[in-house]
Chain A
Amino acid sequence: MLAPSAVILGTFIIYPLIRAIWLGRQRCNPQGKNCDTTGWGQYTDVWRSEEFQQAIWVTIKFTLIVVPLGVALGVGLAVLADKYLGGIGVFRAIFSSTVATSVAVASLMWFFLLEPSLGVVANIGWINDLFPVVKEPGLLNDPGTALGSVALSSVWAGLGFTFILVTAGLQGIPADLHEAATIDGAGGTRRFWNVTLPLLGPTLLFVVVVLTTRAFQAYGEMDLLTSGGPAPQDSTTTVTYLVYGDTSEVRSDGGLQATTAVWLFVVLMGLALVQLRGLGRRVHYGN
C-alpha cells in the first residue's frame, strides 16, 4: 500500500537528502568530480565561517521583517475585506492578486519602481526631499535600506497568499460568537483581539510556519534586485543566495554548496519544530 509513495519519497526526497549530507563532507571541482572527503569538520568550518555567519544573520533579519509584516498586513486586509458589502469581491480580488504573480515578475516591478535613475518612486519630488536615499544612491544600493526594500517586495508578493488563507479562516469563525460578544458589550477592537484572533490561531500558525520557511528560502528577489549586494557588506546575501547566487564564491563547489544547504535545512527544521511545538500548544483548534 505504501510502496508507491515510499518509492517517490525515497527517490526524490530521502535519497537526495542523504546524498546532499554526504556531499557536504567533500570538496569538489566544478564538474562535481575529483572530490576530496574532508570529513564532518567541514560542517563546523562552514557554520563558523565569516560568510555563513553573515548570511544567516542577514536571513534572520530578512525573516524578522517579512514574517511579522506579512502576517499583520495579511490579517489587516482580510479583516477589512471580511464584510458583506456591495463590490467587496473587487477588493478581495485585488488583495489576493499577488498570489498569481511570480517572484520574478514582482521583483521586476519593484525594480522599476525603485530604480534610482528612471524608477517611479525614486523620481517623486517630495519623497526625494524627505528621503534623499531613495535617489542617491537608491534604496536597493544603500547598505542600510537594501534588505528592507527587498523584504518589502517580498512582503508584497506574499500578501495574496496570507490574505486568502486568513480570509478562509475568518469565514470559519461562527457569527454567533461575535454576536454574543457584542451583546456582552465588546467593541470592535475588543472582539478582534478576544474572538477573531484566538480563533484564527491554527490559520496563523500555518501562515507563520510557511512564511518563515519561504523567507529562509527566498532567492529570486535578491537575485533580481540586488545580486546579494550592496557589496562589500553583502547586505542581502542570504543563505540561499550564498549557496547559489551569481556573486557567490562557493557556487562552483558542489561540496560547499551542499554543506551550506544542509545547514539551512537543519536550521529550518529546528525552527519549524519550535514553531509547531511552542506556538502550536497555544493554538486553539476548537475541540
Chain B
Amino acid sequence: MNTMRQQHQRRGWQVRAGVLVAGALVAVACSSGESILDAGLPPPDTVPVPPTAGPDGSVATTIPATTTTTPLADLPPCPIEALEEASGTVELTFWHGMNNELEDALTELTNEYNAGQDKVRVTLQNQGGYNETIDKYFQSGPGGRPEIVQMPEYMVQQTADSDSTVPIGACFEGTGFDDSAFLPRALNAYQTGGVQWSMPFNVSNPILYYNKKIFEDAGLDPEKPPQTLTELRQYSKKIVDSGAARFGIAFDTGQDNGGGWFLEQWFSKGKELFADNANGRSAPATQVMYNNDFGVELLTEVQSLVADGLAVNVGANPSGQDSFLKLADQENPAAMTIGTSAALGTIKVVLDGGLIPGLTSDQFGIGPMPGPDEQPGVLVGGASLHIVADQGDAEAAASWDYIQHLVTAEAQSFWASKTGYVPVRTDALDLQPLKKTYRDDPRFKVAYDQLTASSDDPSSSGPVIGPLREIRAVNSDAVSAIFGGADVAATLEEAAAQSNRLIRNYNARN
C-alpha cells in the first residue's frame, strides 16, 4: 500500500512538474513582439505627440539668448558665506569614477588641498567608474549621498531633473566667480535653460590613435594623420593594400565609444542636431534626429569601411581596451583607432613600461577625430563636479571652495599634463607643467586644439537628453547591426523609435 501511494504521489509530482515546464515553454514561445519599455503603458499611438516638435520634425535650431524655464531663483542657493561661520573642520566626501593614472592625479590634487588649509577635509571615494557612481547616486536617498559627486557629460539632464544639486551657477553669482579664462565650450556643456549646473573638471574628447611605424611602412607621412572620413578611407586602403597592416582602423561598439559617444561627436562635426529643441538645451528634448539623411550617409560610409575590409569591428569592448589592443595585435593589427583623450596618459605609461611587446610610446601618433567634413570641432566629453544639495550650508560652501581649487589654472595645468584631459581654462597653458608637456609632446595638445576649434553652431553643444545613457545602449546595438551588414536606414529608424520611446517615458515622469 505504502509503496503504491508513494508511486502515486511521485507520478502526481511528475505530472505537475511536467505541466509546469510545459507551461513555461508555452509562455516562452508566445512573445508579444513588443518592447519591454512599453510594459504597463497604453499603446503608443494613444499618447499625444508633444507639441514642441512639429509633425514634420521641424524644431527650433537656435538656443534662445535667455530662457526662464529654470531660473536660478527656484533652485537651491549656494550659501558661500557659511564656510566662514562654520566652527571646526568641515568633512566632505567626494564620489568619483577616476581610475589608474587619473585617480593618482586626483588624489594628489586633493592631498594638496587638504594640506593647504585646515577648514575643510575632503575624502575621496572611488566608486569604480561612472556607471557605478550614477547608479549609487540616483538610488540613494539624500542621507546616503556625498557632498560632491562627479557626473559624466551624458547625465546633465537627469542630474538637473533630480533636483538634488546646488547649481554651480548660483555659486558663480554669489562669489562673482571669474570664469573669463574658462573655455566657453566646457562651461556650455553643463548648461541647460541658462543654468550652469556643474563645474567642468575633466574634459576629454575622442582622438585618433595611430601607429607611426605602420604609416611609414605604407608610404604615408607619419606626421599627417587623416582629418576626414574620406581621408581615413584613402589611408586605410593604402595601409591594407601595401600589406603594412591587416586593417586601417579598429572601430568598437561600446556605448561610451564607437556605439554611442562617437555618433554624437560625428553629428556635431557635421553641424547636425542629434535631438530636437537645440539638442535639448532650449527645452527638454522630445525626440532624437539621428535617423535623418545625414545619419544614414554617415553610417553608410562607416559601414562600407568595414565591409571593404579596411576597418575591423572589435565589438562591445566592455573593458575599453579591445580597440587599443587591436593596434598591438601580433598577427592582424589595425593601424589606427579612435579613443578618448583621457586614455592618453595611461597608454603612455603602459607603453613606457614595456607592457606591450613591439610597441613603444614614441611609436604612436595622435590626430584629431576624423569626421564627415573639414569641420574640426568636437563635443565636450568627460565629467563635471556637482555640489549635492541638502547636505548642510557649511558643507555646500566647503564643496564650492574645494571645487574652485580643482579648477585653478595651476591645478588644471597639472591635471591635464598628467592625464590627457583638456584643461578647462586657457591660462593653464601658460603654466608648468602643462606648458612644457604641450611643447615637448604635442600629442597631448590635439584634444585641446580640436575642442577650441569648434564652431558656435548649436550643434557644438552636445545633446542633453534625460535617458541619454539608455539611448546610447540602443545606438550601440544599432551600430553593431550596421557593422554586421544591416540596412542602415531601417536600423537607424528602429533605433530612433526605441530612443523616442525612452524619451517619452522619461518625460512623462519627470
Contacts and interface: CB of A to CB of B under 8 A. Distances in A.
Contacts of B478: 232
Given A115-B322, A123-B330, A232-B477, A48 B40 contact: no
A259 B39 contact: yes
Contacts of A141: 314-316
Most-contacted residue by chain A among B37, B313, B356, B506 (CB, 10 A):
B37
B27 interface: yes
A137 B252 CA distance: 12
Nearest to A278: B17
Interface in A10-32: 25-32
A281 interface: yes
B42 to A, nearest CB: 9
Nearest to B317: A227
Nearest to B484: A232
Contacts of A45: 32, 34, 36, 38-40
B328 interface: yes
B20 A274 contact: yes
Interface in B155-174: 158, 161-162, 164
B510 A34 contact: yes
Nearest to A48: B32
Given A49-B35, A229-B480, A277-B13, A27 B509 contact: yes
A253 B254 CA distance: 22
A118 B319 contact: no
Contacts of B505: 27, 253
B410 interface: no
A103 B322 CA distance: 20
Interface string B490-510: 000000001000100110111
Contacts of A116: 314, 322, 329
Contact of A249 (B318, B325, B470): B470
Contact of A118 (B10, B40, B329, B467): B329
A89 interface: no
Contacts of A246: 131, 255, 318, 473
B53 to A, nearest CB: 21
A127 B27 CA distance: 41
A249 to B, nearest CB: 5
B99 interface: no
A: interface residue count bin: 35 or more
Contact of B34 (A32, A50, A230): A50
A252 B470 contact: yes
Interface in B30-87: 30-41
A138 B323 CA distance: 13
A29 B163 CA distance: 13
Given A38-B41, A230-B316, A232-B481, A49 B254 contact: no
Contacts of B236: none
A251 B470 contact: yes
B476 interface: yes
Interface string A65-80: 0000000000000000
B509 A28 contact: yes
B30 A267 contact: no
A226 interface: yes
Interface in B233-277: 253-255, 259
A46 interface: yes
Contacts of A38: 39-41
A248 interface: yes
A277 B40 contact: no
A225 interface: yes
A36 interface: yes
B139 interface: yes
B465 to A, nearest CB: 12
B39 A46 contact: yes
Given A234-B477, A270-B20, A137 B328 contact: no
A137 B315 contact: yes
A28 B41 CA distance: 12
A258 to B, nearest CB: 11
Contacts of B27: 47
B315 A229 contact: yes
A28 B135 CA distance: 15
A165 interface: no
5 shortest interchain CB distances as A-B pairs: A38-B40, A42-B40, A45-B39, A229-B316, A141-B315
8 contacts: A29-B506, A31-B162, A115-B321, A138-B314, A231-B253, A234-B477, A252-B158, A277-B13
Interface of A: 25-32, 34-36, 38-39, 41-42, 45-53, 56-57, 60, 111, 115-118, 123, 128, 135-138, 140-141, 223-232, 234, 242, 246-256, 259-260, 267, 270, 273-274, 277-278, 281
Given A30-B158, A247-B473, A281-B10, 17 more contacts: A27-B41, A31-B138, A42-B39, A45-B32, A45-B39, A48-B32, A141-B316, A229-B318, A230-B315, A232-B481, A246-B255, A247-B255, A247-B316, A248-B473, A249-B498, A251-B470, A278-B13
